[in-house]
Amino acid sequence: MTDAKKQQGNKLSEAEAIERAKQGDAEAFEALYNLHKRRVYSLCLRMTANTAAAEDLTQEAFLQLFRKIGTFRGESAFSTWLHRMSVNVVLMQLRKKGLPVVSLEETMETEEDAPRKELGADDSRLAGSVDRMQLQRSIAVLPPGYRMIFLLHDVEGYEHNEIAEMVGCSIGNSKSQLHKARMKLREILKTSRAEKATKP
Amino acid sequence: MTCQEFERVLPELGDGRTMEQEAHLRSCSACSDLLADLNAISQQARLLQGSEEPSPWVWNSIEVALQQEGLIRQPYLAHSQPPAPPPLLGWKLRWLVPAAAMFLVAFGVLMFQRGTGQSHVAEQQTAAVGVETAGLQPMAGDDLQLLKTVGERMPSMRAEYEANLESVNAYIRDAEQSAHSDPNDEVAQQYLRNAYQQKAMVYEMALDRSLP
């Protein structure tokens, strides 16, 4: 059961919590936080690969949300509003730190960053053997530009047109970065599996 | 269609594929394996959404900021504050705050030492950890006791703490499984330490709020 459903089953619904939060009700703020904390924090953690930074960004995202909650009119889903705000908070933070949000030009990609073309290689399939922990670790070592697009598309479920708008790149660039990210992850996962297999 | 041609269209490939692409996939195991792997990565990635739990301190910081900014207009829990419990209950449970925190963090440290220690020493430590692990089982009883206390003092928060404990216990199980499958994996050991620290924080917060 998701956090949201559990929460709704037990006490305040999201709509009630929003209305009560607008009146300054502390429990309503906490209920809204509890409904969405995992998704926001997970996004921040994966984008920054740093627990302390992720906690700061989660705090910042929720504070921005709560400061503006009086203006929420319910035209869009609350979760969409919150998650878009979280992404913006993270992107702004990454830009402030000068970290690349997306590769500027595909031609600038280094040989090291580019996924190796493995078509025709005699490698066995990964499918069925990708576990969560392995995938988490592999995502953490992706180049930042790839990681951002991969997280937004494959983990968070945004479409390429939304990503292009949020990140400030073309739809084609978003598709291309996503493909390269998946290829790079495949390579990292295979290397990790091969290393494990050769360990005594 | 060649493999190179297939690779060029791969970034654009959705669910709908042309007959030519389908034919290539049927005849080329390398390309069909590649596609299966990329799909598996993508599907597994979706399960990562919302899979991490922030430390309880994050909410504490938000709450303090909301109060300072005047966004919270009602005193916290003012309308749900239950009557004070008998004084003995508070004293009976107060020891749990440092005890639970110390126990959980110590367990994490022991797990770390087991992962990084040298062979002979590691064997001894592993035995010690085994004893500690066995000793950890009664924590389930402590969890129930904690929930009982929270339920008596802050009924509206009980469900939240129950969800937090379930979540952190699942995190611990997950991390333990990874740490046991590869005791030399430092990342897994770190996950495990984080998991125990989170549980210690849940205890500390619950008891800090519920004690008189």
Contact: B52, A178; criterion CB under 8 Å: no
What pLDDT was estimated at residue B113? Answer: 56
B44 at A interface, C-beta within 8 A: yes
Query: Which among B10, B36, B187 is the nearest to A125, CB-wise?
Result: B36
| Residue B196 pLDDT grade (very low, low, confident, very high; cuts 50, 70, 90) | confident
What are the counts of helices (DSSP H) followed by strands (DSSP E) for chain B? 10, 0
B58 at A interface, C-beta within 8 A: yes
CB A57 within 8 A of CB A77: no
Note the pLDDT tens digit of each residue in A139-187: 988 888 888 899 999 999 999 999 998 888 889 889 989 999 999 999 9
Dist CA B95 CA B103 (whole Å): 12
Q: A197: alpha, beta or left, given left = phi > 0 and alpha = psi -120 to 50? A: alpha
CB B25 within 8 A of CB B32: yes
| Residue given tokens 């319910």 in the structure block | A74
CB A134 within 8 A of CB A186: no
Closest residue, chain A, to B161 (C-alpha): A34
A14 at B interface, C-beta within 8 A: no
Dist CA B154 CA B83 (whole Å): 10
Give the C-alpha distances (Å, rounded to integers) separating B153 from B68, B97, B101, B210, B212.
Answer: 26, 16, 21, 6, 9
> Could you count the other beta carbons within 10 Å of the beta carbon of residue B61?
16
Which tokens belong to A109? 């990609």
CB A64 within 8 A of CB A43: no
Indicate which of A8, A182, A189 best probes the interface with B, i.e. most B CBs within 10 Å of its own CB: A182
Indicate which of B41, B167, B185 best probes the interface with A, i.e. most A CBs within 10 Å of its own CB: B41
| Residue given tokens 């921040």 in the structure block | A44
B62 at A interface, C-beta within 8 A: yes
Closest residue, chain A, to B80 (C-alpha): A27
A197 at B interface, C-beta within 8 A: no
Contact: A127, B12; criterion CB under 8 Å: no
What pLDDT was estimated at residue A1? Answer: 43
Note the pLDDT tens digit of each residue in B120-152: 444 444 434 443 443 344 457 788 888 888 787
Residues 6+ positions from B212 with CB-CB distance below 8 Å: B84, B85, B87, B90
Query: Which residues in chain A are closer than 8 Å to B52, comparing Cβ atoms?
Result: 38, 41-42, 45
What chain A holds in terms of domains, given with CATH numbers, is 3-96 (1.10.1740.10), 106-198 (1.10.10.10)
A58 at B interface, C-beta within 8 A: yes
Query: Which residues in chain B are closer than 8 Å to A34, comparing Cβ atoms?
Result: 160, 163
Polymer length in residues for chain B: 212
Note the pLDDT tens digit of each residue in B159-195: 777 877 887 787 788 778 777 777 777 667 777 777 7
Contact: B51, A183; criterion CB under 8 Å: no
Dist CA A29 CA A35 (whole Å): 10
Which tokens belong to B94? 């107060």
pTM: 0.60
Contact: A42, B42; criterion CB under 8 Å: no
Tell me which DSSP letter residue A154 carries.
Answer: I
CB B152 within 8 A of CB B207: no
Query: Which among B11, B33, B76 is the nearest to A26, CB-wise?
Result: B76
Spell out a b/e string for B131-150, using b for 16 or more CB atoms within 10 Å of the CB, else e.
Answer: eeeeebeebeebbeebbebb
Round the CA-based radius of gyration of chain B to a whole number and report it. 25
Distance from the Cα of B11 to chain A's closest Cα (Å) equals: 5
ipTM: 0.76
Q: How far is CA A150 from the centre of its chain?
A: 8
Indicate which of A154, A158, A161, A163 best probes the interface with B, i.e. most B CBs within 10 Å of its own CB: A154
Contact: B48, A132; criterion CB under 8 Å: yes
Give the C-alpha distances (Å, rounded to integers) separating B197 from A186, B128, B191.
Answer: 32, 20, 10
Q: How many CB pairs below 8 Å do chains A and B form together?
A: 161
Dist CA B96 CA B84 (whole Å): 19
Note the pLDDT tens digit of each residue in B71-127: 887 554 433 443 334 343 444 444 555 555 566 656 555 655 555 444 444 444 443
What pLDDT was estimated at residue B85? Answer: 40
CB A144 within 8 A of CB A99: yes
Residues 6+ positions from A100 with CB-CB distance below 8 Å: A143, A144, A145
A70 at B interface, C-beta within 8 A: no
Contact: A130, B3; criterion CB under 8 Å: no
Note the pLDDT tens digit of each residue in A26-51: 889 999 999 999 989 998 888 888 88
